[in-house]
Amino acid sequence: MINKFPNKLRDLRKSLGYAQGEMASRLDISVKDYMNWENGNSLPAFSQIQKMAILFNIPVELLMDNRKEISQDLLDTLSKSVIIPSFVQAKKEVSQTATMDLASKVQSVDAFEETKVMSTIQDNQHKKEIKEEVEKRKKISRKAIWIGSGVTASVILLAVLISLFFNRKNTLAISDMNRLALGKHFSMYIEDNGNVKIRGNLSHKNAFENLVQVSAYGDHAVGLKKDGTVVSNESNDDVSKMKSIQMIAAGHDHILALKKDGTVVCSGNDNACAVSDWKNVKRVYAGKNVSFGVQGDGKVLVAGDGSEVKGMSGVQSIRANDQMIVIVRTEGRVQVIAKGKKEVPNGSHLSGVKDVALTQDGIFAIDQNHKIQWSLVNEEKTSFDKATLARWQNIRFIAGQGDTLVGIDQNGRMTGIGDNSSNQYENTAPLAEPQAKKLGQVKNIKFTETTANVNITWDAVENADRYHVTIDTEPALDLKDIASNSTSVPTTKLESGKTYKVTITALSDKKDQYAESDVTTINYTYNQKVIDLDSPKNVTNQVTKNGWTFKWDKVEHADYYKIVYDGRVLVDKQLETTYHIDNEGIPENSEHTIEITAHSNQPKVYRDSAPTKVRAVYTLKKYNVTFVFTKNGSVVGRKSYTLARGSYPLGSIIQDGDIPGGYHLSNPGQEVDISKSGEQHVEVK
């Protein structure tokens, strides 16, 4: 329970407008003793409490009973007084048993008060008002006397209880606040039993006893003692004067101290110590040339070099070093603000954060489950062994400094990482067994069919070096050590219309760091891809004396062709891209339809083409051709003929009688192509 007596005494004094020294004088005690009462460092004897009740004209139990509050109405009534009596001349202390003596003193005080007040007032109406007020206060005092005389036993019992309560030292309890501090060359930790464990090199370490809080920055160490006073490893008269403190924060060259009344005092750096107007502060934090105060509503007050966070709301705690200011929000999120142009980590992925510690490498956080999270300035260049850090478990407190990080687990055991040149830490907390991080599952699997293969692709998994793919065909396909995020399966291994179970697992060559992923399973129905063959193109025809010939371009993937002439199938499987029709019986200048269709020997893969239809006229074209007969380059005769297009042996056209002078053909079997009119030279002998 909070001792309310100091606040009661302070409120009563202030309502009358008196300084602490003047109150001490009227109670015939030293100023130091009175200040200790108001500051909660000590408690008055019961006889002294009785004096106070007389001075303020209030019942004794209103001061002594911790359950009773002093109303604002009473304070307003007291504020109307001009002067209060003094006990300087009193020869005899009022005792708790001398109720009649107490009554006489009250009456004399009342008389004194009335006389003194009235002598200073000239206005009759004002005198009347004050006299009425005095009478009212007399009644209050007489009521107190009646209570004291009528229930003496109750007062005695109450006095005993209150005395037990008051005589108990008004000490601060150990909480989780500021239990661990890390300096450049030392660490400080307050155990649950109150023992202060100091490791490394810390000057004046003997001063750090009976502590409830510790704080450090660089070589600077500060402790809060149970009695609300402050100690430091640096001599400072201002620190010795800090009283009634409930929270501390060590800055680079200053000490920030939160008082019980919500105000803040500071010693050291003037810029960072501009905190005299701070009120309603619940928590304080410090850095280099900066002080932070967090009010009850989470609003931030700033003194020094931290204007970026001034006025922020919804703040749980603040940490700062030379590189950055880190804000922990009430919902457990983290916000990082760079100091100057220095590179800082991105803390947006940290969640559920309870507390943070800062080092040169980055931010290290404890979450609500006592697990470690971190965000580093440079993942590749960090001096910390991340694998070891990941094995920290059940961490209760954490602190950082420079390139050192220290944690305390739930059992009060220490663990650390980074620089330990001054033996700042010892690794007594057991680490979790090294566990390889499981690779992420394969995602976004896609199948693409071609006539020859089924191509399988998926998103690449971070840190995966290879993949394992299985398909439950008969026999099963087991594709191991696939180096890329894709593979293919021949369509000959699959049956169209059948559903297959496909599994893909990501694996790493660094088995000590990354375990294989969970298996991703997907069902895939294979439908064989059937391609329509192209229709034959560029169909041409030529009529010669030998017949009617059709030609066309080869169709890709076609193995043969079907030829239909005027609705009649001429051939089912024409292998070549040309077809000849004999001209027997075909009327001159008659029109006919030719259909050509491409086919494949793999009908499940390639579908028949649409037929190409051509309308053609059978016309046997003839040409006037003159053969010029020559012997040894000299012309010996000529003969003209009308011939149909085609190829002819010379002997089938030219007879020996057609050659003048008894000459005959040198090569009767020579083929000549008749495709135009004109002259052709023929050698004779």
What the block records as the tokens of 166 is 């008051």
Residue 472 and residue 291: Cα distance in Å, rounded?
67
What letter does residue 431 receive in the DSSP assignment?
Answer: P
Residue 126 confidence class, pLDDT cut points 50, 70, 90: very low
Give Cα separations from 650 to 22, 489, 647 (angstroms).
152, 62, 9
**pTM to 2 decimal places:** 0.47
Whether the per-residue pLDDT at 22 is higher than 80: the answer is no
pLDDT, average across residues 332-351: 90
Residue 2 confidence class, pLDDT cut points 50, 70, 90: low
Whether the per-residue pLDDT at 127 is higher than 50: the answer is no
Whether the per-residue pLDDT at 16 is higher than 80: the answer is no
Whether the per-residue pLDDT at 87 is higher than 60: the answer is no
Question: Which of 535, 568, 532, 567 has its CA nearest to residue 554?
Answer: 535
Digit-coded pLDDT (tens) for 275-307: 999 999 999 999 999 999 999 899 999 999 998
The per-residue pLDDT for 396 is 95
What the block records as the tokens of 684 is 């004779």
Residue 40 and residue 4: Cα distance in Å, rounded?
9
**pLDDT more than 90, % of the chain:** 52
Residue 449 and residue 436: Cα distance in Å, rounded?
37
Digit-coded pLDDT (tens) for 207-245: 899 999 999 999 999 999 999 999 999 877 688 889 999
| Residues 287, 299 contacting (CB under 8 angstroms) | no
Give Cα separations from 126 to 131, 133, 384 (angstroms).
9, 11, 79
The per-residue pLDDT for 123 is 41
| Residues 288, 316 contacting (CB under 8 angstroms) | no
Whether the per-residue pLDDT at 85 is higher than 70: the answer is no
Q: Dihedral sign, CA of 18, 21, 22, 23?
A: positive
Residue 480 and residue 568: Cα distance in Å, rounded?
56
Residue 287 and residue 325: Cα distance in Å, rounded?
9
Burial class from Cβ neighbours inside 10 Å (0-12, 13-18, 19+) for residue 295 reads: middle
Go through 655-671 and write b for each residue having 16 or more CB atoms within 10 A of its CB, e for each that does not: eeebbeeebebeeeeee
Residue 195 confidence class, pLDDT cut points 50, 70, 90: very high
Residue 282 and residue 277: Cα distance in Å, rounded?
14
Q: Find out whether the peptide bond into 660 is cis, omega within 30 degrees of 0.
A: no
Residue 82 is which amino acid?
V
Average pLDDT value over all residues in the chain: 84
Question: Which of 343, 290, 344, 282 has its CA nearest to residue 317?
Answer: 282
